Amino acid sequence: MSKELTIAVLGGGSFGTAIANIIAVNGHHTYLWMRDSNKAERSQRTRENAEYLPGYQLDDNLTLTSDLEGAVINSDVVFISVPSQSFRSVTQQVAPLLKADAIVVSTTKGIEPKGFTLMSQILEQELNDVHIGVLSGPNFAKEIVQQQQTGSVIASDDEAVIKCIQDVLCSPTFRVYANRDRYGVELGGALKNIYAIVSGLAVQVGSGKNTQAMLLTRSLAEMGRFASELGADPMTFLGLAGVGDLILTCTSDLSRNYRVGQALGQGKTLDQAVEEIGQVAEGVNTVKIVKQKADELGIYMPLVNGMYDILFLQRPLAEVAQGLMMGEQNNDVEYSSRT
């Protein structure tokens, strides 16, 4: 094992709790910061995050706290695992507390609407003298804490970041792969949430395996096309943070976005669907943000357009589906490895 470090994970949701516990089990002094002081105190006392991971015992080496300064000020590595809407404000609070040369890693899968800004770009804008990384992949927290074998991706252009995060998180059931295309990895984590809604809706209304296979494959094509136009490597989408995360979130009701699609397929309104989930479903906002960017750049994204029409224009599903099937017929594979 690498030398013992002090590490803070900011955000007491299911994924933040899961990775904080992995790090604590690996022998590092670990803080898990929760905004709500009552929840933090209760979780510290009971050794359980009852709201997000009920029934799972937390390691004794993990300190749960609502004291942001106490968690961050001596930490060598800081993971930020808060919803995208809160990401910039939390980063701004953290900025004056960080050690020089600290490593800061985003695990948040979302896009800030203003300027189409990804989370690691917010880190670049708000922080100085830190090393930045992105952790993403097909990672349901519930299965991580059940010690199901899981793979994730650390993306950074800094080799020291990659090596550190691999050492900190590596365990018999959690493996971390490296990728240098930080932008592509991060885009994959955000975009797949859109297609999880599409898939949940399709399954709920009785679509067969043929339809599901077509949706998954065309979703991947759309993701690659969009990312390539924005400067990412489309081949990144053949890895865990692309097709791996896409398969996971488009085939399981453990995905909040998939469950939003299911609720829509049951005839519920968007507001009813979101309220029923009770947690942030990043894909709803991502649909709107990505459609605007695709329209601006002239990128062909029929599934995004169709989902936008269903979510925000209340266009009937049958009409959208017919339009998708009768639209422009494209090539199956539209990009290849860069040379």
- Biggest distance spanned by C-alpha atoms of the chain: 59
Q: What residues have CB less than 8 Å from 136, skipping those under 6 apart?
A: 107, 109, 152, 153, 155, 185, 186, 188, 189, 241, 245
Please give the Cα distance from 124 to 167 (Å, whole number). 24
Can you read off the two tokens belonging to residue 113? 């609407």
3, 109, 192, 288: the catalytic one is 192
Residue 35 has, within 13 A of its CA and on its CB side, a CA count of 12
Residue 188 has, within 13 A of its CA and on its CB side, a CA count of 35
> Under a CB-based contact definition with an 8 Å cutoff, are residues 277 and 215 in contact?
no
Backbone angles phi, psi at 22, to 5 degrees: -55, -45
Q: Is 54 left (phi over 0), alpha (psi -120 to 50) or beta?
A: beta
Are β-strands 62-65 and 150-155 bridged in parallel, bridged antiparallel, or unpaired?
A: unpaired
> Under a CB-based contact definition with an 8 Å cutoff, are residues 229 and 297 in contact?
yes
Count of beta carbons in the 10 Å neighbourhood of residue 214: 14
109 is catalytic: no
Burial 307-321 (b: 16+ CB within 10 A, else e): bbbbbeeeeeeeebb
> Under a CB-based contact definition with an 8 Å cutoff, are residues 310 and 208 in contact?
no
Can you read off the two tokens belonging to residue 261? 């699609």
The closest of 252, 220, 253 to 237, measured between CA atoms, is 220
> H/E element holding 178?
strand 174-179
Would you name the residues annotated as active-site residues?
192
